[in-house]
Amino acid sequence: MDLNSIYSEIILEHSQSSHNKRHLHSPDCQERGYNPSCGDDIILELKLEQNKIAEAAFTGAGCAISQASTSIMVDLINQKPIDEALELANTFLSMIKKQITEDSELEVLEDAIAFKNISNMPARVKCAVLSWRTLMEALKKLEAQKAEAATEQ
């Protein structure tokens, strides 16, 4: 089996798994991610604890690529400090843009490395990055809320 078939296998497997697809009990944020070019529509839910993502989950629907990418991301960011999750998002986006190509630098992405060659299918890139962009947006908003709360005190 060549590497590309292994990657496809990983994506297929995750697109069918639903263990991360659920609502959280009173999440700290719910961020919608929508990709009009494909119709992928997800809602990412996060529960924070200090500076850590205590729990993450998602709901929504979309193509196999978007669903797999979201589920893999949720696996990865669960229980991670926020800055580490952001670092992962940056690494993922750099991988897609082919700014990082060394496998040793991509190891942190675990199964998300399966999207390494997605830029060979330009129409699918937005599907693969949707969840990561949604995560960055959610964390940016949470950061802004925190800053606002701090000035109010």
By the criterion CB under 5 A, which residues form the site for Zn ion? 38, 40, 63, 66, 127
Instruction: Give Cβ neighbours of residue 139 (< 8 Å, ≥ 6 apart).
Output: 46, 82, 85, 86
> What does the alpha-carbon distance between residue 56 and residue 46 come to, in Å, rounded to a whole number?
5
Instruction: Give the β-pairing of 52-61 and 29-35.
Output: unpaired
Nearest residue (CB) to Zn ion, 55 versus 66: 66
> What does the alpha-carbon distance between residue 28 and residue 39 come to, in Å, rounded to a whole number?
26
What are the strands of the beta sheet with 52-61, ordered from one edge? 29-35, 40-49, 52-61
Quote the least distance from Cβ 127 to Zn ion, whole Å. Answer: 3
For 4, the enclosing helix (H) or strand (E) is helix 3-16
Quote the least distance from Cβ 62 to Zn ion, whole Å. Answer: 5
Nearest residue (CB) to Zn ion, 77 versus 127: 127
Quote the least distance from Cβ 66 to Zn ion, whole Å. Answer: 4
Nearest residue (CB) to Zn ion, 20 versus 69: 69
Quote the least distance from Cβ 64 to Zn ion, whole Å. Answer: 8
Nearest residue (CB) to Zn ion, 100 versus 112: 112
